[in-house]
């Protein structure tokens, strides 16, 4: 866990944090050793393993229990066939390397989570925009914010403390359910995204006539396998282990239980050696 302190608070009530993009697992581990340090006054305890993260960059024990899933978590959003196949191929490769691998879907209703999170993420959002508007001397409206932002602003005005507290209660139950899943399995392997990288602007905030709830579900469809880790406060990592016929890399995601980042380092380092990606460069079209 990377502390947000001391300059700012924990983003999204602790549901989001910053890290870095790296080319190698060696760099990932080195930066974790550098950045995963508790800051004075942190509201969250940062668990660290009994030795530096860089010492976990070796094949983990064969007793590691790995689940994999390439079924959509949003029913009407099928996973791209090439991405689904790459996920399955990665699971089979790990099985071939001697690990226990089992197909298992996580207990997570993504649509319900997205709708509940509107009451959590955007509680007080209208107050924030109003404060910006006061400082700028410009009212919040269709001439100053994008259409989707305006819809979220209007929705935020309807949120009550009761709805906010109900969302926190739902998050607790979701975390407990996912926590039980990760007592059975050490690692969950899924696609990172359900579809290849879409054209720029397809999920932009300038879409007209779309309510906040509809946009939230729509925008979450490509990244439906990622959101559970925000809710759970658990580590996850994406590796570019395959290439799509479109010429774009396919991300394969690995997640683990909260504050057990070291479980991911060894298996990802192993795959980095077995299926190296550092020399893979997509074709560049220059007009």
What DSSP line would sit under 213-232, residue for residue?
HHHHHHHHSTTTTTHHHHHH
How many Å apart are CA 146 and CA 132, to the nearest integer?
A: 15
- Asked if residue 164 has a cis previous peptide bond (ω within 30° of 0), the answer is no
Name the pLDDT band for 4 (thresholds 50, 70, 90): confident
Q: How far is the CA of 282 from the CAs of 8, 139, 244, 251, 253, in angstroms?
A: 37, 45, 10, 14, 20
Q: Reduce the DSSP state of residue 281 to 3 states and report it.
A: coil
Q: Where are the alpha helices (DSSP H) in 185-286?
A: 212-220, 227-232, 262-274
The domain limits of the chain are 11-123+159-274
Quote the pTM value.
0.91
Query: Is a pLDDT exceeding 90 seen at residue 142?
Result: yes
Model confidence pLDDT, tens digit, residues 179-189: 999 999 999 99
Nearest to 22 by CA among 225, 277, 196, 252: 277
Q: Is 82 exposed, middle or buried (0-12, 13-18, 19+ CB in 10 A)?
A: middle
Residue 209 has pLDDT above 80, yes or no: yes
Grade residue 92 by pLDDT with cuts at 50, 70 and 90.
very high
Q: What is the percent of the chain with per-residue pLDDT over 70, rounded to a whole number?
A: 95
**Topology of the domain covering 11-123+159-274:** Amidase signature (AS) enzymes (3.90.1300)
Please give the pLDDT value at position 67. 98
**Which pLDDT tens digit goes with each residue over 216-258?**
999 999 999 999 998 988 999 999 999 999 889 999 999 998 8
Q: What is the pLDDT of residue 44?
A: 72
Length of the chain: 287
pLDDT band, residue 11 (cuts 50/70/90): low
Range 21-44 average pLDDT: 88
Give the residue with greater pLDDT, 155 vs 277.
Answer: 155
Q: Are 86 and 277 in contact (CB under 8 A)?
A: no
| pLDDT (0 to 100) of residue 180 | 96
Evaluate if residue 8 carries a pLDDT over 80: no
* Mean predicted lDDT score pLDDT of the chain: 91
Tokens 């580590």, located at residue? 235
């Amino acid at each position: 866990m990377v502390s947000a302190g001391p300059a700012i608070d924990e983003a999204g009530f602790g549901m989001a944090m910053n890290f870095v993009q790296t080319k190698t697992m060696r760099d990932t581990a080195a930066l974790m050793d550098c950045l995963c340090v508790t800051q004075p006054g942190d509201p969250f305890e940062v668990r660290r393993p009994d030795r530096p993260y860089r010492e976990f960059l070796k094949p983990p024990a064969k007793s590691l229990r790995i689940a994999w899933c390439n079924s959509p978590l949003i029913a009407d959003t099928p996973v791209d066939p090439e991405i689904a196949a790459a996920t399955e191929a990665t699971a089979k490769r790990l099985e071939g390397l001697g690990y226990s691998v089992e197909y298992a879907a996580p207990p997570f209703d993504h649509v319900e989570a997205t709708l509940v999170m509107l009451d959590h993420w955007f509680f007080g959002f209208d107050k924030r925009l109003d404060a910006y508007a006061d400082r700028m001397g410009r009212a919040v409206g269709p001439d100053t914010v994008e259409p989707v932002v305006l819809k979220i602003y209007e929705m935020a005005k309807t949120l009550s403390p009761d709805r906010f507290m109900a969302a926190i209660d739902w998050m607790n139950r979701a975390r407990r359910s996912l926590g039980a899943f990760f007592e059975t399995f050490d690692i969950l392997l899924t696609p990172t995204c359900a579809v290849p990288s879409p054209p720029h602007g397809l999920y932009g905030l300038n879409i007209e006539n779309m309510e906040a709830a509809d946009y939230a579900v729509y925008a979450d469809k490509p990244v439906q396998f990622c959101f559970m880790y925000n809710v759970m406060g658990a580590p996850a990592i994406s590796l570019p282990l395959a290439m799509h016929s479109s010429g774009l890399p396919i991300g394969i995601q690995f997640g683990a239980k909260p504050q057990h980042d070291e479980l991911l380092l060894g298996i990802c380092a192993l795959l980095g050696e077995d299926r190296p990606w550092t020399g893979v460069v997509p074709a560049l079209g220059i007009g």
